Amino acid sequence: MTNLSRRSVVAGGVGLGGAALLGLRPEFARAADFPTKPFTAIVDAAPGGGHDRFTRAITPEWTRITGQPIIPEFKPGAGGVLSATTIVNAPADGYTLGVIAVSSMNVSIALGKPQGFGFGSFAYLGTMWNGPIAVFTGKDSKWESMTQVVEAAKTQKITAAVAALRAMYHISGVIFDKRMGIETQFVPYNGGGPSRQAAMSGETDIVWTGLYDASANYDGLRCLCVFDKENPIPDVIDAPTVYEMFPEQALTLLHPTAYCVSAKVRDENPEVYQYLVDAYRETYTSEATQKALIDLQFQPASLKYTSPEELSAIEADFIEQLKSIEI
């Protein structure tokens, strides 16, 4: 347990006036003796991927704000469970950060994959990016609307490509199928790219994927449905939302990826946790960070900061959706 609370109140400690003397912003005053060493970010993918590029993009501003850099440590494998286990088991001192695909991790937890942790094991700092699930079909496909696909599924086989079975996109499709009273045949491919290629080529009727994940394939795909209350990029993708097409069965399906720490940090060192949340929010929303991310081809619409409270609400809603199906 750090001595942040003690340092914030002792004589000569840091109140608002002390923060000004030290050149610190008031919201960071309570953590005047933290941090004193670099942070480690547990990244659940190989170097060079989106998680790595994001971490490197935020590090300059994070270093400016906290005085300490973020050093990535790559732990790919087991669908993110390996890295998640490392995050959960790290000391509660706040120096071990992590990357979590929130909804995907909830699917893994629901499937019983992780050992030694479950729902509520992570305390979020804020999103890296966030966006809705969407259904696409090939540009030259016969399918003109999601309504047409749903009606056809009642009398014939409809094939849907997914990155993998019993993973986020597949589970999203299963949840929707149950609401609509249909049964799609889900076909697994080795990753998101191959699954989208399957729909583009006509090998499958549709593909379940992320709205932004498909950005590299927009020229070869048509979006049939966006699983959010609004289409966040109507100037890029001309597609209706599930709320417009199926108002009685509509649901929001989001796929946020977030920076987090073990819930032990929040519970055992609340001052440290709040410091990290504040520092992350300032880092993420800064003009320098946003420019760096956009320069790296991150979709601007996906880069809207989502707070820990909002992420927890998204997580709770998705967990309820998981309870509606057998996985």
Domains and their CATH numbers in the chain:
34-130+256-322 (3.40.190.150), 133-245 (3.40.190.10)
As a whole number, mean pLDDT of residues 39-57 equals: 88
As a whole number, mean pLDDT of residues 192-196 equals: 93
| Cα separations in angstroms, 57 against 54, 64, 69, 97 | 5, 13, 12, 15
Chain segment 79-88, per-residue pLDDT in tens: 677 788 899 8
Q: Which of 258, 238, 275 is nearest to 27 (CA)?
A: 275
Residue 109: predicted pLDDT: 76
Query: According to the 3-state scheme, what is the secondary structure of 108-129?
Result: HHHCCCCCCCCCCCEEEEEEEE
Cα-to-chain-centroid distance, residue 115: 22
Residues 204, 222: Cα–Cα separation, whole Å: 14
Chain segment 269-323, per-residue pLDDT in tens: 999 999 999 999 999 999 999 999 999 989 899 999 999 999 999 888 888 888 8
Residues 294, 303: Cα–Cα separation, whole Å: 9
Helix (H) or strand (E) holding 71: strand 70-74
Residues 255, 228: Cα–Cα separation, whole Å: 11
Chain segment 18-35, per-residue pLDDT in tens: 333 333 444 444 456 899
% of residues, the chain, pLDDT over 70? 88
Residues 71, 201: Cα–Cα separation, whole Å: 41
**pTM of the shown model:** 0.82
- Chain-wide mean pLDDT for the chain? 87
| Cα separations in angstroms, 237 against 136, 209, 221, 240 | 11, 14, 10, 9
Chain segment 216-251, per-residue pLDDT in tens: 899 999 999 999 999 999 999 999 999 999 999 999
Chain segment 196-213, per-residue pLDDT in tens: 999 999 999 999 999 999
